[in-house]
Amino acid sequence: MSEADALLAAIRQAPDDDAPRLIYADWLDEHGQPERAEFIRVQIELARQESPGLRRREAELLAEHHDLFAGPLTAPWLRIRFRRGFADTFGHTGLFVANESDANDLGFNSSRGQARSYFRFFLNGTWWSVSSPASMDEVIQHMRSGPNDFGVTSFVSYSFDLFFPPARIHFGWLAPGNSWDAQGTLERSQLVFEIVARGKRKRIIFSHVHIPGFDSFQDSP
């Protein structure tokens, strides 16, 4: 294990402790990454107390170095929100879409025929999904009104694990008569994960879709 991996492992083992993060920031300074180091320190201090000056500096660092800080999550139109120096949630209400044929093979939506599956992630660490044979435009129109207007099937939490590549995202789903757990990998604009449901294992790929005026930065559904 490299020195950097060991420092990241220490952060992972003590996620609520600022000390390993600050030690990692010192290491970043010593290895030519002063912006990343400063960003970690600024966000740690902001987590302790609010400061208009530090908030401005945080915004400046993100404006200039967001993609650097996002690392393997970097993709066109995809924004990440950080907490205490590390990716925490998506930075907007991002929409991911997949063809539903694979999910139908697992027994999802068997009475509805061919459909598409839509995942929408929020800043507050929650996500919801819906599957429908309707057109994407119709689904999006209903999504603008809120998750309860179009048969949302789930509304649960998700989390990132960025400490070792590839970036991973953890979430589960529970609905009447059906449930599954998933650990996906998020690379660029694709979310790839394996679902285990009804005794079957399936690999499904979701792609981020940027829709002007729809990707918003609201804080909750």
pLDDT value of position 144: 65
According to DSSP, residue 199 is labeled: T
Separation between Cα atoms, residue 178 and residue 39, nearest integer Å:
42
pLDDT value of position 23: 97
Q: For domain 90-209, give the CATH number.
A: 2.40.128
Instruction: Give bridge partners of residue 161 from the DSSP assignment.
Output: 168
Going from N- to C-terminal start, the domains of the chain cover 3-71, 90-209
Q: Phi and psi of 189, rounded to 5°?
A: -110, 15
Residues in the chain, total:
221
pLDDT value of position 198: 66
pLDDT value of position 221: 38
Residue 76 neighbours by CB under 8 Å, 6+ apart: 189, 210
Separation between Cα atoms, residue 178 and residue 189, nearest integer Å:
28
Contact (CB, 8 A) for 12 and 1 = no
pLDDT value of position 78: 77
pLDDT value of position 94: 67
According to DSSP, residue 74 is labeled: -
* Cβ atoms within 10 Å of 44's Cβ, excluding its own: 17
pLDDT value of position 57: 97
Residue 133 neighbours by CB under 8 Å, 6+ apart: 112, 113, 114, 115, 116
Separation between Cα atoms, residue 48 and residue 51, nearest integer Å:
10
What pLDDT, in 10s, does the model give residues 151-195?
555 556 777 776 655 667 776 655 555 555 567 777 777 788 776
Residues of the chain with pLDDT under 70: 93-94, 99-114, 143-156, 162-167, 171-182, 195-198, 212-221
Separation between Cα atoms, residue 81 and residue 89, nearest integer Å:
5
* Cβ atoms within 10 Å of 16's Cβ, excluding its own: 5
